[in-house]
C-alpha cells in the first residue's frame, strides 16, 4: 500500500509542485474539497501502459466508425499542460 497524504484544496493550490513530486515518488497525495464528499487522488501513470491504452481506444473507435485524431496529434495534446479549477 502506498503512502497517502491528505491536503485541503487551499493547501493543494499552495503546494502544487510538492504534490507532483510526491506522486513521482510513489506516494498518493489526496486533495479533499471542504464541505463536500469529493476527493481527488494523484497517482503516477506508467507511460507504457498509457500508450497501450490509447492504442486500444483508437482501435475500438475505428471499429465502430468514430473519427479519431492521428496518434501524434493525440500525444501532443496529452503532453500539454492544462489548468483545472476546483
Quote the CA–CA distance of 2 and 75 in Å, as a whole number.
29
50-to-23, 30, 72 alpha-carbon distances in Å = 16, 21, 14
Q: pLDDT averaged over the chain?
A: 77
Q: Residue 58: name the closest of 69, 50, 49 by CA.
A: 69
Is the pLDDT at 1 greater than 60? The verdict is: no
What does pTM read for this prediction? 0.45
Looking at per-residue pLDDT, the higher value among 85 and 40 belongs to 40
Sequence-ordered alpha helix ranges (H) in the chain: 9-14, 16-24, 47-63, 71-79
For 38, other C-beta atoms within 10 Å of its C-beta total 11
What dotted CATH number matches 1-44?
A: 3.40.1620
Is the pLDDT at 26 greater than 60? The verdict is: yes
Q: Yes or no: say if 23 and 43 are a contact pair by the CB < 8 Å rule.
A: yes
Amino acid at each position: 500500500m502506498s503512502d497517502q497524504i491528505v491536503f485541503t484544496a487551499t493547501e493543494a493550490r499552495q503546494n502544487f509542485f510538492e504534490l507532483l513530486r510526491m506522486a513521482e515518488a510513489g506516494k498518493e497525495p489526496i486533495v479533499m474539497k471542504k464541505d463536500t464528499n469529493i476527493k481527488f487522488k494523484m497517482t503516477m501513470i506508467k507511460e507504457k501502459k498509457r500508450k497501450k491504452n490509447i492504442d486500444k481506444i483508437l482501435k475500438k473507435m475505428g471499429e465502430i466508425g468514430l473519427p479519431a485524431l492521428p496518434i501524434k496529434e493525440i500525444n501532443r495534446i496529452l503532453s500539454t499542460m492544462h489548468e483545472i479549477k476546483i
